[in-house]
Amino acid sequence: MIGSKALRTFTEILFLSVLMFFVSIPVMAGSKKAESLFEQGLKADKQGNYRVAAELYEKACSAGDALGCNNLGYLYAEGLGVPQNYAKAAELYEKACSAGDALGCNNLGILYEKGLGVPQNYAKAVELYKKACSGGEAGGCNNLGALYEKGLGVPQNYAKAAELYKKACSGGNALGCRNLGILYEKGLGVPQNYAKAAELYKKACSAGDALGCNNLGILYAEGLGVPMNKFKAYECWVKAARQGDVNAQHNLDILCKESPWACK
């Protein structure tokens, strides 16, 4: 959902090891001038006029608006309207984070986790994700959970990962719902519960998470936690495939070959 104060941020997608942005709508205090500059920058950003957006975000950031710093950092990280520069992005996320912006902390954490513009440092990423999560940024909770699941920067702890994914999911983060579903499906840190996994995958899929849709389709195809229903499996995989999920497309190909009656 894109609102009047939508912000750009990264989110790590567990198991896919890619970065993407999502939008959020927090409220940010600041001077009227800075807020106006930020709003103008956001408008230009949404229109695809990234060069103008970068100029306005820079002015907003200089005027003390942490959101402007965060969004300008994103443009530098992606090379939108400005030359791609992860070091500059890190500098701007640091400024946003230091000013109390949880999104900036989360984004800076991802750069430390990936070693982009800063030396790779999982312990530092953990520190920043904790700050982001404590500040109410659900993506930070999800990313911190991923590090606990993988044992990066912290001792591996599936139960702690599940706790953090639950917090992320409750905060509206679709990836947190899907990742928690994976733990329930596999019985890692929580009792194995296919029905709970299906419930979480449904929530993730409804929020637009392709892997959640793919995983839900698998449960329907195999009758795990839900009644076996190849029609529903087909629907889930189509939804995921349309978002570019290659595994879902592969599952569709197999389903339509073995059970053509299930494919509409």
CATH code (residue 179):
1.25.40.10
Q: Is the pLDDT of residue 25 over 60?
A: no
Same domain, 113 and 190: no
Same domain, 175 and 109: no
Residue-level pLDDT at 264: 74
Same domain, 82 and 175: no
Chosen domain end from 119, 145, 180: 119
In a domain, 147, yes or no: no
Same domain, 196 and 255: yes
In a domain, 143, yes or no: no
Distance in angstroms (rounded) separating the CA atoms of residues 113 and 19: 11
In a domain, 136, yes or no: no
Distance in angstroms (rounded) separating the CA atoms of residues 23 and 11: 10
Q: Quick: pLDDT tens for 142-188.
A: 999 999 999 999 999 999 999 999 999 999 999 999 999 999 999 99
Q: Which domain holds residue 106?
A: 1-119
Give CA angle at 141 (119, 79), nearest 5°.
45
Averaged over 59-80, what is the pLDDT? 97
Distance in angstroms (rounded) separating the CA atoms of residues 157 and 179: 14
Chosen domain end from 88, 119, 150: 119
In a domain, 159, yes or no: no
In a domain, 113, yes or no: yes
In a domain, 44, yes or no: yes
Same domain, 101 and 203: no
In a domain, 153, yes or no: no
Chosen domain end from 104, 119, 134: 119
- Please give the model's pTM, rounded to 2 decimal places: 0.86
Same domain, 115 and 179: no
Least confident range from 1-15, 22-36, 186-200, 244-258: namely 1-15
Number of structural domains (the chain) is 2
Same domain, 13 and 73: yes
Q: What share of the chain has pLDDT > 70, as a percent? A: 87
Give CA angle at 199 (197, 201), nearest 5°.
65
Same domain, 186 and 79: no
Q: Quick: pLDDT tens for 89-101.
A: 999 999 999 999 9
Same domain, 99 and 176: no
In a domain, 140, yes or no: no
**Close Cβ partners of 22 (under 8 Å, ≥ 6 residues apart):** 9, 11, 139
Question: How would DSSP label each residue in 152-209?
Answer: SSS---HHHHHHHHHHHHHTT-HHHHHHHHHHHHHTSSS---HHHHHHHHHHHHHTT-
